[in-house]
Amino acid sequence: MLGRPTKYNDETVIKALSYLEGCYDEIPTMEGLANYLNVAVSTLYEWANDPDKRTFSEALNKIKQTQGDMLIQKGLKGDYNATIAKLMLHNHGYSDKQSTELTGRDGGSIEMDHYLEISIVDPHED
């Protein structure tokens, strides 16, 4: 079964890096790159996961890395909306959420050797 011919060729990596170089004041995004290359975002990820297209995968990682750096640097300076920068940084492994999980031995429940006993005493009684 034949599918539609791929738009990937020797110049695709050059175009991807050219897109990155053109993003001076704007954040490079997968959507922006997909529009620039006239393909779907899902196609970018297919190419990035193709072992025969390692150079493209490296270019895509460079774009993601630059995006993360710009979000941090310009977000700290206040050049970007803090809420949007925070949401986008989630895609780079950052989170403002904190969680704590307590478990006992081997991940089971915590066993208590001693229990707290509370007695209510009336201070007016002798």
Give the pair of three-digit tokens for residue 51: 């072992």
Given a cut of 80, is residue 118 above it in pLDDT?
no
The single residue listed with the structure tokens 């895609």 is 91
**Terminal Cα-to-Cα distance of the chain (whole angstroms):** 94
**φ/ψ (deg, to 5) at 21:** -65, -30
pTM value? Answer: 0.67
Query: CB-based contacts of 70: which residues, under 8 Å, 6+ apart?
Result: 27, 28
pLDDT value at residue 1? 44
Using CB atoms within 10 Å of the CB of residue 103, give its burial: 0 to 12 exposed, 13 to 18 middle, 19+ buried: exposed
* More confident of the two residues 5 and 75: 75
